[in-house]
């Protein structure tokens, strides 16, 4: 009876996922291949924010966006419809930069800086806010507001008000019912569907991937067709986002490339790319690097749990690790008789504890693989610390968890540099 109930639950879940994969509607943005195009979304937002737009919303949507962007200690004043003089996109009024959306009222300027794929650039933000400050200093305006609009995973270290695309989607949903024109109503619904599908962080590994990774064998037995490569495309996109974030966050460029390995600066992410490696050339001799592991056997339910990987969960996951390779013979270590490789790992752990890094790693969900194995089991030859990120228990929002885990590892750079220097000195 229990088996039949389990099978019934699986069938219900499969039907639910299958309906989700076939329910997605094609939008105009899909047809024009502009679903993530920043300039296309900027034009739509400019039109929606314009009180004189054909949508007939006046300043309702604009003020809702301003309220959504307001922060504690930084309330943004609403605007009166009669006070708005112009709403422009791609303004070249500043000499050295471009403003995505520039709203001018009788006394102030409101600027929206949009990102759909690329990361926020500090230099660009500085140029834009410097322009606004000069306008105020020259008494051209009395005040200004500068608002960043990004996806949820694109975090900002700046203090400026910050909107997410899910905020825009929510405010559109709250106001679209007031649009009287059927044509404009269709335009807004089409735009909302595109925002939901491509700009709201919620489906790094969506229903199509879940069908393959969790229920592929069942679907094969039932003769039900499915997109067998969906998870491969999702993995490629995840690694591309990670690469882009790393390059911006840590200034990984050709100028600083001599410090990092070529794999850290990976220029191409292909369909067969299943590991992202991050390391420095100086770490190589000691066998240390960071890895994001998204191999098929980890992504697929219950297929990466043999004896040497017994510490891993049976669920579909991505594993972020601090890889510290040791000789195979050193894996047969014990507390009473530790091997050379086990001692070296212990020295690295002591260094991270001393520098306060182990506390941060543990708080971020990392575990020592040694602690997850019994004394009778061999050490994992490759991975010293592991952080498992389950694919399907976080509404598909996998990238933020991967990014945060990698960020925690990147914060250990200085400690690892010092550890590597000490290990090299021991050999001399």
Rounded Cα distance, 415 and 428, in Å: 20
Identify the band that residue 393 occupies on the pLDDT scale cut at 50, 70 and 90: confident
Work out the pLDDT band at 306, boundaries 50, 70, 90: low
Inter-axis angle of helices 182-198 and 165-175, to 10 degrees? 150
Instruction: For helices 230-249 and 207-222, give the axis angle rounded to 10 degrees.
Output: 160
Alpha-helical runs (H) found in 73-206: 122-137, 165-175, 182-198
Average pLDDT over residues 221-230: 88
Q: Chain-wide mean pLDDT for the chain?
A: 88
Q: Picking from 195-204, 242-251, 349-358, which range would have the lowest pLDDT averaged per residue?
A: 195-204
Q: How confident is the model at residue 17 (pLDDT cuts 50, 70, 90)?
A: confident
Question: Which pLDDT belongs to residue 72?
Answer: 57
Of 50, 53, 49, 29, residue with least CA distance to 40: 29
The answer to whether the CB of 331 falls within 8 A of the CB of 346 is: no
Query: pLDDT tens digits for 39-61?
Result: 999 999 999 999 999 999 999 99
- Using DSSP bridges, classify how beta strands 317-324 and 288-293 pair: parallel, antiparallel or unpaired: antiparallel
Helix H segments across 224-339?
230-249, 296-299
Residue 249 has pLDDT above 60, yes or no: yes
Query: Is pLDDT larger for residue 135 or for residue 300?
Result: 135
> What pLDDT does 1 receive?
38
CA–CA–CA angle 324, 328, 333 (5° rounding): 85
- pLDDT greater than 70 at residue 227: yes
Confidence band, pLDDT 50/70/90 cuts, at residue 36: confident
Share above pLDDT 70 across residues of the chain, in percent, rounded to a whole number:
90
Mean pLDDT of 134-148: 95
Question: For position 206, what pLDDT does the model report?
Answer: 82
Over residues 28-33, mean pLDDT: 87
Query: Using one digit for the tens of pLDDT, what is the confidence trace for 176-196?
Result: 999 989 999 999 999 998 998
Please give the Cα distance from 242 to 276 (Å, whole number).
9
Q: What is the DSSP string of 62-73?
A: HHHHHHHH-BTT
Higher per-residue pLDDT: 121 or 134: 134
What phi and psi, each to the nearest 5 degrees, are found at residue 70?
Answer: -60, 140
Determine the Cα–Cα distance for residues 221 and 418; give it in Å rounded to an integer: 55
pLDDT at position 6 over 70: no
Residues 79-88 have a mean pLDDT of: 95
Q: Which residues of 118-142 are buried (b: 16+ CB within 10 A; e: fewer)?
A: ebbeeeebebbbebbeebeeeeebe
Cα separation, 37 vs 29, in Å, equals 9
Q: What is the pLDDT of residue 313?
A: 82
CA quadruple 107, 167, 169, 243: dihedral, nearest 10: 110
Of all residues in the chain, what percent carry a pLDDT higher than 90? 58
Q: What are phi and psi of 72, to 5 degrees?
A: -60, 125
Rounded-to-integer distance, Cα 365 and Cα 388, Å: 8
Residues near 207 by beta carbon (within 8 Å), at least 6 away in sequence:
17, 18, 20, 21
pLDDT at 314: 82
Q: Please compute the mean of the pLDDT values over residues 15-44 and round it to a whole number.
A: 83
C-alpha angle 74-125-111 in degrees, rounded to nearest 5: 60
Report residue 307's pLDDT band, with 50, 70 and 90 as the boundaries. Answer: low
Q: What whole-number distance in Å separates Cα of residue 330 and Cα of residue 146?
A: 57
Which string of DSSP letters, residue by residue, matches 48-66? HH-TTSTT--TTHHHHHHH
Residue 208 pLDDT > 60: yes
Six token digits for residue 204:
């790094």
Q: How confident is the model at residue 415 (pLDDT cuts 50, 70, 90)?
A: very high
Confidence category of residue 7, pLDDT binned at 50, 70, 90: low
Question: Measured between alpha carbons, how far is 197 from 177 in angstroms, rounded to an integer?
Answer: 21
pLDDT band for position 121 (cuts 50, 70, 90): confident
What tokens does 424 get? Answer: 């090299």
d(CA 164, CA 243): 21
Do 245 and 278 contact (CB within 8 A), yes or no?
A: no
Higher pLDDT, 1 or 170: 170
53/252 Cα distance (integer angstroms): 43
Minimum mean pLDDT range among 91-100, 172-181, 315-324, 381-390: 91-100
For residue 414, the surrounding DSSP H or E stretch is helix 413-427
Q: Highest-confidence range of 111-120, 236-245, 276-285, 299-308, by mean pLDDT?
A: 276-285
Q: Which residue has the higher pLDDT, 66 or 30?
A: 66
CA distance 164 to 249: 19
How many angstroms separate the CA atoms of 218 and 220, rounded?
5
d(CA 45, CA 192): 11
Q: What's the confidence (pLDDT) of residue 2?
A: 46
pLDDT in tens, 334-376: 888 999 999 999 999 999 999 999 999 999 999 999 998 887 8
Per the model's pLDDT, the better-predicted residue between 304 and 274 turns out to be: 274
């Amino acid at each position: 009876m229990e088996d039949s109930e389990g099978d019934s639950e699986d069938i219900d879940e499969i039907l639910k996922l299958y309906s989700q994969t076939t329910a997605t509607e094609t939008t105009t943005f899909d047809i024009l291949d502009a679903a993530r195009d920043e300039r296309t979304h900027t034009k739509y937002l400019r039109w929606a924010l314009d009180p004189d737009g054909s949508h007939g919303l006046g300043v309702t949507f604009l003020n809702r966006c301003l309220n959504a962007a307001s922060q504690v200690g930084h309330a943004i004043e609403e605007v009166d419809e009669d006070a708005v003089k112009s709403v422009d996109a791609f303004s070249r009024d500043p000499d050295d930069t471009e403003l995505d959306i520039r709203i001018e009222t009788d006394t102030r300027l409101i600027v929206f800086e949009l990102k759909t794929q690329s990361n926020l650039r500090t230099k660009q933000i500085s140029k834009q806010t410097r322009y606004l400050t000069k306008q105020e200093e020259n008494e051209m305006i009395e005040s200004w507001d500068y608002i960043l609009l990004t996806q949820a995973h694109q975090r900002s270290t700046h203090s400026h008000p910050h909107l997410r695309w899910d905020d825009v989607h929510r405010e559109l949903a709250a106001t679209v019912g007031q649009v009287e024109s059927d044509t404009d109503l269709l335009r807004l619904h089409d735009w909302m569907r595109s925002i939901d599908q491509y700009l709201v962080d919620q489906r790094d590994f969506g229903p199509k991937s879940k069908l393959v990774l969790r229920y592929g064998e069942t679907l094969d037995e039932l003769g039900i067709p499915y997109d067998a490569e969906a998870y491969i495309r999702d993995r490629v996109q995840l690694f591309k986002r990670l690469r882009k974030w790393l390059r911006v966050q840590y200034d990984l460029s050709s100028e600083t490339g001599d410090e990092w390995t070529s794999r850290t600066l990976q220029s191409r992410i292909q369909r067969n790319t299943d590991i992202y490696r991050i390391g420095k050339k100086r770490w190589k001799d000691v066998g240390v690097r960071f890895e994001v592991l998204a191999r098929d056997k980890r992504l697929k339910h219950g297929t990466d749990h043999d004896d040497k990987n017994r510490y891993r969960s049976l669920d579909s996951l991505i594993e972020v690790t601090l890889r510290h390779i040791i000789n195979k013979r050193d894996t047969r270590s014990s507390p009473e008789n530790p091997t050379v490789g086990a001692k070296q790992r212990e020295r690295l752990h002591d260094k991270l504890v001393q520098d306060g890094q182990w506390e941060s790693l543990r708080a971020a969900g990392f575990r020592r693989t040694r602690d997850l194995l019994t004394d009778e089991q061999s050490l994992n030859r490759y991975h010293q610390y592991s952080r498992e990120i389950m694919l399907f228990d976080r509404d598909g929002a996998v990238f933020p968890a991967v990014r945060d885990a990698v960020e925690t590892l990147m914060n250990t750079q200085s400690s690892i540099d010092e550890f590597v220097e000490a290990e090299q000195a021991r050999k001399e």
